[in-house]
Amino acid sequence: MKKLTRRNFIRASLIASGGVALNACAPAQPAPGAAGDAPAAAVDPADLDLPFEIAPDAINPLNVPDNVTAEGVFFSDGYGHEYIQYAADLFAKVHPGSKVTVEPIQGVGEKLRPRFVGGNPPDVIDNAGAGALDIGALMSEGQLLDLAPLFKAPSLDTPGKTVEETLFPGSQAGGVIDGKQVVLNIAYTVDGIWYSKTLFEEKGWTYPSTWDEMLALCETIKSTGMSPWTYQGKYPDYMFAGVLMGQIYKRAGIKPMIDIDNLVDGAWLADPVVESVKELYTLVENDFIMPGTEGLNHTEAQAEWLKGKAVFIPSGSWLENEMKDMTPPNFNMVVGEVPGPGHAILAEASEPYIVPAKAKNPEAGLEFLRCLISKYSARFFAEKISSMMPVIGGTEGVKISSGLESAVKVVEICGENVFPFMRFGGWYNDLNKEAAAKMGELLTGKITPEQYCEACQKMADKVKADPEVTKFTRTS
């Protein structure tokens, strides 16, 4: 089958389309409820109160027991919980008498790690946010269920297609570890620099295409009394994903980031990395960052941005929904790529969902994910959350917001130069914490770019030398 370009599969999200098969890794052994093992559906589709037609073989392909109550624990983030409850309600309609509980939490790792150790984890988890569970450690301990049965199961609401065939090609590659699909990423996230389109039109400003133009515009902005930049304060890694990764890619492509993920010796000290950190640091040197930013949390900083205290802020495409209750009328937030040579943007499926291998109801956990990643659920996500799931046809017939529209547009412009998130954050918790902490020190002028890179390299070397840490690699 001909492989779709990234441009084409973004377009595929906007139209009704046939599925495209992913080349996902097959499991070595079937997991509970493996698709194909289910008997013929005992329920007549006509008896189900569903807003769409469902094929008989799509009612219970994962063998969910009758009258089950599954436990779901979900990170409380910018996407909110409305879409999760929507999927839980859909689950209950497909399986009358059964349900999935919805518990939003912060600090997923701290709260749930003891339950993994105790052998009683929840049935399905949204493992996102700061302080997430260490996926690398869980994988090495055999704590993650292979999701292959889910991917091979019939789609809930796309007849004749498997779940796998309804997802954007390549969108789930980041959830494959050691040849097993252990993570389902449910949101197609575009990370970049956000600003008010309305403000730019009022001021007659043009979004910069080079970093020199960015610095010149920042000088102009500063002269008006506004701060050119802010970031999410206590969570400085937003600047890493929203800005620094784009700077690295525009200098040297994906290789420097792959080398960092693969713990290649000296990867953090490579010229493209060091030069990119120096470029980012010019915002500090020129006093372009809003005073007091470092003391704010993410929503506080974003609220100041919405009040017009700063013009630019880094974020992912969840921003629009996260701040919808505080966004002024006609603000029209949009996302732009990091200024620099050519076009490139960080965009990938994210918001990682997992099913623990030792869950009490793994079949129900998998089935909840099948409901969550359905086309019907994806349309709700686009309309109500102003974000996109990696589901073909997932925004069909939906009027999309200014932010989501700009995200789709920038991905189309960047074409093949759409790159994924770096992996070290999920693979190596200590390195992730060190890089975030040192980014905070960099952005407040406490350390130099060289010191930042040296500190990250020192931690990378420590992780690489630790025989207790399971190592992972990627090639693209």
Confidence of residue 324 (pLDDT cuts 50, 70, 90): very high
Supply the pLDDT for residue 128. 94
Q: What's residue 30's pLDDT?
A: 38
Mean pLDDT of 23-46: 46
* Strand 310-315 to 227-229 pairing: parallel
Structure confidence at residue 35 as a pLDDT band (50, 70, 90) = very low
Band of residue 3 on the pLDDT scale cut at 50, 70, 90: very low
- CA–CA distance, 74 with 108 (Å, rounded to integer): 8
pLDDT in tens, 406-445: 999 999 999 999 999 999 998 999 999 999 999 999 999 9
Structure confidence at residue 42 (pLDDT):
66
How far apart CA 84 and CA 74 sit, in angstroms, is 8
Q: Would the pLDDT of 2 be above 50?
A: no
Q: Which two tokens stand for residue 178?
A: 């050691």
pLDDT for the residue 46: 81
pLDDT surpasses 70 at 159:
yes
Please give the average per-residue pLDDT across 279-308, as a whole number. Answer: 98
| DSSP letter for each residue of 219-283 | HHHHHTT-EEE---TT-THHHIIIIIHHHHHHHHTTHHHHHHHTT-TTGGGSHHHHHHHHHHHHH
CA-to-CA separations, 291 to 216, 295, 327, 329, in angstroms, rounded: 19, 9, 22, 26
Residue that the structure tokens 């869980």 belong to: 138
**Highest averaged pLDDT of the listed ranges 12-21, 256-265, 407-416:** 256-265
The yes-or-no verdict on residue 19 having pLDDT over 80 is: no
Q: What is the mean pLDDT of the chain?
A: 91
Percent of the chain with pLDDT over 90: 83
Under the banding of pLDDT at 50, 70 and 90, the label for residue 476 is confident
Give the CA count within 13 Å in the CB-facing half-sphere of 314.
25
pLDDT for 36 equals: 40
Per-residue tokens: 38: 């289910």
* CA dist list (Å): 408 to 44, 192, 358, 417, 421: 39, 12, 38, 14, 17
Write out the DSSP string of 298-347: HHHHHHHHHTTSEEEEEE-TTHHHHTTTTPPTT--EEEEPPSSSS--EEE
Specify the higher pLDDT residue, 40 or 180.
180
Mean pLDDT, rounded, for 322-346: 97
**Res 406: pLDDT:** 96
pLDDT tier for residue 234 given thresholds of 50, 70 and 90: very high
**What tokens does 319 get?**
């921003």
Is the per-residue pLDDT at 4 higher than 90? Answer: no
Residue 456 pLDDT more than 50?
Answer: yes
pLDDT score, position 169: 86
pTM: 0.81
pLDDT tops 80 at residue 13: no
For residue 467, is pLDDT > 50?
yes
Q: Report the distance separating Cα 22 and Cα 183, nearest Å.
A: 15
Note the pLDDT tens digit of each residue in 60-114: 999 999 999 999 999 998 899 999 999 999 999 999 999 999 999 999 999 999 9
